[in-house]
Structure 1
């Protein structure tokens, strides 16, 4: 039998909060069992939480994560799940590459403004001497 974990144990293991785990429950990403009034999490719940946290860290939305996790139950061979994953990864890479380009452009503009401001300060310092 799988070792059952409490919300506190699971939160500690993943360096997150019980509130975060409960939030994922409200979004139907996790569905723990109950022993009396205590939520208990199985190895499967632990694996799902690990996937959820990794996907969040990589910038995927909760909707994307739910869609991916739901396919796990529908497709035993996981072909649909892998195809969906590849499509979402490609889209996320495109988004991040665009953000990277935008950041480079913004940094260049800020550096130009910084140089103009420094130049103006130097010019004014020379004229006031």
Structure 2
């Protein structure tokens, strides 16, 4: 018999809220079965659990949920993994370039801040010297 999970099981395991789980379902990332009166209870399969795990991994890598869904959906297709892996590498390459550009921008900003700090400390030292001399003279 296949293992199944409730929304609470997976939410707890992955430290998510049930609301986030329902959002992922609305995005088409998860497709739980239904049970109980009126089909109100969600029943998640191992496939849903794996897709959730991959979705969260993709988010940590900086992918949008649409990009994550496109990649994850490719794994549901026939077993030729070549196209999937090429697409995954392409997406990762794009995100790497974006993050490297952001890092370069942050490093430039930090350098600029350091220069302003140095300049402000130098000016402050000049301002403080005459005040110290006056205090000594009195």
With normalisation by structure 2, the TM-score equals: 0.88
- What is residue 8 of structure 1 aligned with on the other side? 8
| C-alpha distance after superposition, 1:69-102 (max 9, x if no partner) | 2212223222211110010011111111111111
- When Rg is computed on C-alpha atoms for both structures, the one with the higher figure is 2
Contact 1:75 1:81 in 2 (8 A): no
Q: Count residues in correspondence.
A: 129
Are positions 1:110 and 2:113 aligned together? yes
2:31 partner SS: coil
| C-alpha distance after superposition, 1:1-38 (max 9, x if no partner) | 22111111101111121111111111111111111210
Give the one of 88, 92, 112 matched to 1:89.
Answer: 92
Give the one of 49, 72, 77 matched to 2:75.
Answer: 72
Are positions 1:39 and 2:49 aligned together? no
Alpha-carbon distance in structure 1 between the residues aligned to 2:78 and 2:122: 63
Structure 2 unaligned regions, length at least 5: 133-138
With normalisation by structure 1, the TM-score equals: 0.94
For the aligned residue pairs, the C-alpha RMSD in angstroms reads 1.2
- What is residue 30 of structure 1 aligned with on the other side? 30
Give the one of 94, 101, 112 matched to 1:98.
Answer: 101
Structure 1 unaligned regions, length at least 5: none
Runs of 4+ in 1 over 6 A off after TM superposition: none
